[in-house]
Amino acid sequence: MVNSNILVNPPIVSNPTPEAKPFLVLDNLSKVYPTPTGPYTVLENVNLTVSEGEFICLIGHSGCGKSTLLNMVGGFTQPTTGEVRLPTGVVTQPGPDRMVVFQNYSLLPWKTAFENIYLAVKSVFPHKSKKEKIEIVREHLALVGLEEAADKKPTQLSGGMKQRVAIARALAICPQVLILDEPFGALDPLTREDLQEELLDIWRRHQVTVLMITHDIDEALFLADRLVMMTNGPAATIGEVLNIPFSRPRNRAQIMEDPTYYDLRNYALDFLYHRYAHDDAA
């Protein structure tokens, strides 16, 4: 267990609403599921305002409702109360402006890497010429360094390569928000670190707004502008939001030499394993 008294410089804890212009707004969201034993409140009073191009990581114990929250942003499930807003309006259904990448890659196994991306591009840009669509696919395969693997099927790709294809497919249709549900959870540590660096590079070039679930505090501290820490369910909510002040582009070795890194890390660990310890995790 981590003792919060050991913090030398307490990290800056931000309010959920930054001063920058709001882009994605989670406004007083709650989610209640009907169950055989009565209504079950998963989330309550969730408020968060995200700026355009921000990188947000979400952390919290298993079952607290992180996926439920991102599913509401994705439009796959509707909030019981409150709403998710983008400048284009209230989110009521899935749309190409919000693309999701899951941990299990979700590629079509009978299609090649190229075809998996092409299908997504074709469905979102039906009016583009075939030449343009092929160009978009090639450009995005190159973005994730997979030009050579274009004709391989998912079974011929490693986990890291499959996840690169899934990210390329999501970005090829130019979403405004990229939703990542523990995208690197199934990867070995070295591949995971490579993909974190690639994701940061892609994010910088695409200027996409990212919401990412992770169970890994170090991953969140390397990637995010802000780390959203969830309380435990039932009726989970956002407990605190940590500002992660490291300048960009980030260098992992440099960050790990910075005492602030350990202040933030200890603070997040204390939140998860002391203040909001989970029965199974405490």
Ligand X SMILES: Nc1ncnc2c1ncn2[C@@H]1O[C@H](COP(=O)(O)OP(=O)(O)OP(=O)(O)O)[C@@H](O)[C@H]1O
Binding-site ranges for ligand X (CB under 6 A): 33, 35, 40, 42, 60, 62-68, 233
Looking at residue 223, its amino acid is: L
Which residues have CB under 8 Å from 128's CB, separation 6+? 121, 136
| Pairing of β 226-230 and β 55-59 | parallel
Closest separation in Å from C-beta 268 to ligand X: 16
**Cα separation, 59 vs 217, whole angstroms:** 8
Cβ closer to ligand X: 38 or 89? 38
Closest separation in Å from C-beta 119 to ligand X: 27
Closest separation in Å from C-beta 84 to ligand X: 15
Closest separation in Å from C-beta 40 to ligand X: 6
**Cα separation, 66 vs 60, whole angstroms:** 7
Cβ closer to ligand X: 5 or 35? 35
Cβ closer to ligand X: 19 or 280? 280
Which residues have CB under 8 Å from 82's CB, separation 6+? 26, 27, 28, 29, 30, 46
Closest separation in Å from C-beta 234 to ligand X: 8
Cβ closer to ligand X: 144 or 268? 268
Structure tokens at 255: 């960050």
Q: Are 255 and 85 in contact (CB under 8 A)?
A: no
Cβ closer to ligand X: 157 or 236? 236
**Cα separation, 78 vs 166, whole angstroms:** 25
Residue bearing tokens 């299990």: 104
Closest separation in Å from C-beta 162 to ligand X: 20
Q: Please report the DSSP string for 32-71 in residue order.
A: EEEETTEEEEEEEEEEEEEETT-EEEEE--TTSSHHHHHH
User: Rounded to whole angstroms, what are the CA distances from 247 to 38, 121, 229?
Assistant: 48, 34, 21
Cβ closer to ligand X: 101 or 172? 101
Cβ closer to ligand X: 18 or 185? 185
Closest separation in Å from C-beta 204 to ligand X: 27
